A and B are shown apart, each in its own frame.
Chain A
Amino acid sequence: MKCSHVNKLISQYVDEALSPDEKKDFDSHIKDCALCREGLQEARTLRRLFASAERFPAPVGFSTRVLANLAEEENLRFRFLIAIRPFFMRAAQVTFALVVITMGILSGNLLVAEKTETIEQAAVVREAFSLDLFQATPPDSIGGIYSTLMRPNHEI
């Protein structure tokens, strides 16, 4: 094993992550190489420094603050849902009305298609189902009679 390769394996050696064969080769190199031995010693010292490095307890009141922030966040979400509720209700009403109208039109068309045999018959039935219920001047009303009388080519 060369020094450059041993140097790369020092980290895994201190973590005891080398395979038995690698460890054997590593140990035999270290025995004869002062430079690599020094590298290994430094890596072990580093581990000890980390082991004695300070562990910080969370600051006083940390968990209380996190829980308070969560409660505030949930409260905001709830208030937002309450605030947008009227818009949802109106949207639901409009959607429902549109669905009812669409179903009415579709079912009317289906009825016409099923009950009629010719195109002329279908036109008559369609007219009967038409939403155009309000003729401004039906022929038998006063307005209708007046309109008929006022036509230029009307014969009395």
Chain B
Amino acid sequence: MTSNDDSDLIERFKKGDRSAFEAILLRYQDRIYTLCRYMLKNREDAQDAAQDAFLKGYRGLKGFRPESSLYTWMYRIAVTTCLDYRKKSRREVFRSEPLTEDLPSNGPSPEQLYESGEIPDSVQLALQKLPEKLRAAILLREMEELSYEEIAEVLHTSVGTVKSRISRAREQLRHLLKKKFD
């Protein structure tokens, strides 16, 4: 996959060729879905978020500016959509549950999801405990292998902030996984 291929697809889409979007969808669906699976707790939310991300991408593709690459642009939409989903689910929990910390949450904990097979491995289990911004940064680095500059573009922040977030994420994950395996 090269950015030249992406540019061709974007040009074709802008000229009204709908099949170009289908090609973009097929090219990125696995990567976007994987990102959503690791960003969100369960597979239904991940599927809905990935679908929403592509719908948003379709609506915005005509205004896409060629100075950024298509995949960083798609990742940005996916990360924003996942963060919105998490905010939404937090609001729903807030509305449906009394503000008493002693009471257990109705939803399954990451450990329960891990034991049921919903969260497939220890890395994802530990990832669920990271703050969202750190999780997004480390996922883009480790799973998608983006450079610091590309991650900064996706997360709309500076390279320095990206370095710091990835470093903090790694440190927290090291502690979480160490606790689990000790």
A12 adjacent to chain B (CB < 8 Å): yes
A33 adjacent to chain B (CB < 8 Å): no
A60 to chain B, nearest CB (A): 11
Q: Which residues of A contact B30 (CB under 8 A)?
A: 55-58
Most B-side CB within 10 Å, residue of A58, A67, A70: A58
B interface, how many residues as a size bin?
35 or more
Q: A12-B167, A55-B30 are in contact. Are A46 and B50 (CB under 8 A)?
A: no
A14 vs B169: C-alpha distance in the bound complex, in angstroms?
Answer: 14
B144 to chain A, nearest CB (A): 10
* Count, A-B residue pairs, CB within 8 A: 83
Residue among B21, B47, B173, B178 making CB contact with A62, cutoff 8 Å: B47
On whether the beta carbons of A46 and B163 are closer than 8 Å, the reply is no
A21 vs B122: C-alpha distance in the bound complex, in angstroms?
Answer: 36
A122 adjacent to chain B (CB < 8 Å): no
A64 to chain B, nearest CB (A): 10
On whether the beta carbons of A56 and B167 are closer than 8 Å, the reply is no
B66 adjacent to chain A (CB < 8 Å): no
Most B-side CB within 10 Å, residue of A7, A14, A46, A51: A46
B34 adjacent to chain A (CB < 8 Å): yes
On whether the beta carbons of B142 and A11 are closer than 8 Å, the reply is no
On whether the beta carbons of A50 and B47 are closer than 8 Å, the reply is no
Map CB proximity to A onto B27-42 as digits: 1 under 8 Å, 0 otherwise: 0011011100100000
A2 vs B21: C-alpha distance in the bound complex, in angstroms?
Answer: 52
B28 to chain A, nearest CB (A): 9
A63 adjacent to chain B (CB < 8 Å): yes
A84 adjacent to chain B (CB < 8 Å): no
Q: A8-B167, A10-B170, A63-B25 are in contact. Are A49 and B122 (CB under 8 A)?
A: yes
